[in-house]
Structure 1
């Protein structure tokens, strides 16, 4: 039974943390809610940072989860620009801020997110080497891309994942020259495998993006502290005025590790190990968002999902679990992307090696289709490209775990709903 004398502390002021605070109040919790954020900006959503905001199509204020006054109005004790540096599980306190403020908790939520992986090569200290994770990064990069476009400048992007490709698309829309360097044979290889990855190569190449696959950056060279070029491991040199490191993100687990919570090995994706209720190895501490690694019964694997929908849904789920609600967090992973005139949504989990067949419904050449990844006739994942309002039936197909008729699955005239048992 939760009462008004209890204090719930949330560490991490991203989407997961902000939505958890919102849910606590929406579910009727009347105790103290303390939200501690190490950024000075109010909690915001990250997808616009590589999409609409980066392109100048969305205003700065539009990225925030709530208007600033919402927190005081809902009696959320918001601490901006404050870092939590210790958890005392015995005393049930967190220590934060420059003055070492102690806050007691009855329940604690860790929504500490992830941070960009750094390039471990010479030259990363030069001006003009960028990462994209925070609003301040996006504001700086937006100005950089605009300047590169005006001056016919060149940016080299290390990594061909979602951030790398979305920034490449934005850079080309600004008019900048773009080279993408990646060790895999196609973009997004770890997500889609080679069958669909080639589509993204073609999409970007048609817009003038140059790709250099099968290698990594080895060195960034410069003069007078400024970037001049980026050299790859196979000896090629690409001229560059700026370099973006888009080689993935690492879960921010340092606080949890110091507190003795169970973690997941990096080889398995890393993160804080949580159960189906998003509870850590300490029954009074929960984790949600990018940092949480949970066992997904549908795919029989432990997943750590670094996407908007997981933060949007995981934060509220953790809040309800903290309140004692019975639940199982088993959302089908979902993400979306916009690149040039291509919009897509992906549901499921099917990395290379997990599937044995890819079925295409529609016209892949015209980039208006749905791709399905299957294992022994069972749909593991589906991606709709410039085809809309199909996410729900795709997720129902995935959840059904039933074998499907692949000819019917590939036929656009057969309703997807009719294939769900």
Structure 2
């Protein structure tokens, strides 16, 4: 590989959350001494997002759960509360909402994802309908979670399930609405989904599967009073949460020329690509915003909205920037965790791509324990446990041997 490439002297990181912060840390740890600017659309220093749907909604002092520690010697110029609105790879500039242009030698796209919203073609949402992606979303929703109130959570994925569990723990009357046959069916299949469904119902949550929401009911002044379901029934509620999934935050890149369908398309080294597959000089990406080829998917591009993925891709993106003549491919093993109703759910690999699930343990009575391995064309592609976290280590070692790089399990 050519050695004519030189490391950058000025780097702009767009995204002041986990992936952005970890990229900045990795750059400094690796000896980068140049100019480092971090742009964030929120007016806050980086904070941890997983607690937003758990501890922030239930704790008496939620602030203590969210801040991410800033390392000594980061020496970054922070541009907070100033969203990026344009990337010009030819001029090598990032433009902020106030018109400020930030020149760069290299840029890191780490803008994460945004909550999928209600379809624009439908009537506007009434007050009292929430999405949950940032700190202000969590604070606003938390104010609604008074015991005895009625809450509808629309979407029973990991986020929707965590919000429903937190609200139920606060003493609310919770209805969880899911279009599929089971919660999490698309992510981890019907066995694990059915296990989680039983946990929700045993906690007192009214889980409605094979059900969608067709509209909302509201007072004359626009405050939600209910939801209209696909079976034509009406459910009275005091508030509702849209947990319809997330979409990569690429809107600000619309005229950048990058390939953006389903996220920022990257090569194995996290270099952003043009639609013809050409790597864009000086542009890398990390975290939820990326779409990256992965060995466990047979080299097909995948988007991974997980905490560990953001951390591992940050390290790889930093290496690519500082060693442009000898980058290393990203192949970290995806891992994910969730806590529902006192049970710990952990997964590794890509269960959602499996064509077969094999059950090693299934115990719902007494101690809740589940162990499922996922396979594609006979080959291991992922695993999930509930109450059996330690058993994932063996699966992870096997997945690493199949082509993934070593990465510690999330805890």
Question: Superposed, which structure 2 residues align to 1:6-405 within 5 Å?
Answer: 6-56=9-59, 59-67=62-70, 70=71, 73-98=73-98, 100-120=99-119, 124-145=124-145, 147=146, 149=147, 152-223=148-219, 224-264=221-261, 270-281=262-273, 282-300=280-298, 301-324=300-323, 326-351=327-352, 354-361=354-361, 363-365=363-365, 366-401=367-402
| Inter-partner Cα distance in structure 2 for 1:401 and 1:75 | 39
**What is the match of residue 409 of structure 2?**
none
SS of equivalent residue, structure 2 residue 133: coil
SS of equivalent residue, structure 2 residue 371: strand
TM-score scaled by length of structure 1: 0.87
**Equivalent pair of 2:24/2:74 in contact (CA under 8 Å):** no
Per mean C-alpha deviation after superposition, the further-off stretch among 321-330 and 185-194 is 321-330
**Equivalent pair of 2:296/2:381 in contact (CA under 8 Å):** no
Measure how far apart 1:389 and its partner are: 2.7
**Equivalent pair of 1:363/1:369 in contact (CA under 8 Å):** yes
| Inter-partner Cα distance in structure 2 for 1:275 and 1:332 | 17
Deviations along 1:334-362, one digit per CA (max 9) or x if unpaired, are 1100011111110011226x322322236
Question: Superposed, which structure 2 residues align to 1:399-418 within 5 Å?
Answer: 399-401=400-402
SS of equivalent residue, structure 2 residue 254: helix
SS of equivalent residue, structure 1 residue 389: helix
- Structure 1 residues 58, 199: CA separation in 2 closer, same or farther (over 3 Å shift)? farther
**Equivalent pair of 1:298/1:399 in contact (CA under 8 Å):** no
**Equivalent pair of 1:195/1:358 in contact (CA under 8 Å):** no
Measure how far apart 1:184 and its partner are: 0.4
Per mean C-alpha deviation after superposition, the further-off stretch among 182-191 and 123-132 is 123-132
| Inter-partner Cα distance in structure 1 for 2:17 and 2:150 | 32
| Inter-partner Cα distance in structure 1 for 2:112 and 2:173 | 32
**Equivalent pair of 1:13/1:42 in contact (CA under 8 Å):** yes
SS of equivalent residue, structure 2 residue 144: helix
**What is the match of residue 407 of structure 2?**
none
- Structure 1 residues 228, 372: CA separation in 2 closer, same or farther (over 3 Å shift)? same
TM-score scaled by length of structure 2: 0.89
Per mean C-alpha deviation after superposition, the further-off stretch among 375-384 and 213-222 is 375-384
- Structure 1 residues 127, 375: CA separation in 2 closer, same or farther (over 3 Å shift)? same
SS of equivalent residue, structure 2 residue 32: coil
| Inter-partner Cα distance in structure 1 for 2:391 and 2:45 | 34
Deviations along 1:322-342, one digit per CA (max 9) or x if unpaired, are 111521111111110001111
Measure how far apart 1:144 and its partner are: 1.3
SS of equivalent residue, structure 2 residue 382: strand
Which stretches in structure 1 are left out of the alignment for 5+ residues? Answer: 265-269, 403-421
- Structure 1 residues 271, 110: CA separation in 2 closer, same or farther (over 3 Å shift)? same
| Inter-partner Cα distance in structure 2 for 1:197 and 1:347 | 16
- Structure 1 residues 185, 237: CA separation in 2 closer, same or farther (over 3 Å shift)? same
**Equivalent pair of 1:2/1:29 in contact (CA under 8 Å):** no
- Structure 1 residues 155, 124: CA separation in 2 closer, same or farther (over 3 Å shift)? farther
| Inter-partner Cα distance in structure 1 for 2:60 and 2:395 | 30
**What is the match of residue 418 of structure 1?**
none
Which stretches in structure 2 are left out of the alignment for 5+ residues? Answer: 274-279, 404-411
**What is the match of residue 406 of structure 1?**
none
**Equivalent pair of 2:296/2:349 in contact (CA under 8 Å):** no
- Structure 1 residues 101, 160: CA separation in 2 closer, same or farther (over 3 Å shift)? same
Measure how far apart 1:85 and its partner are: 1.3
| Inter-partner Cα distance in structure 2 for 1:189 and 1:115 | 22
**Equivalent pair of 1:192/1:351 in contact (CA under 8 Å):** yes
Deviations along 1:351-386, one digit per CA (max 9) or x if unpaired, are 26x322322236354422321112344221111211
**What is the match of residue 406 of structure 2?**
none
| Inter-partner Cα distance in structure 2 for 1:18 and 1:368 | 36
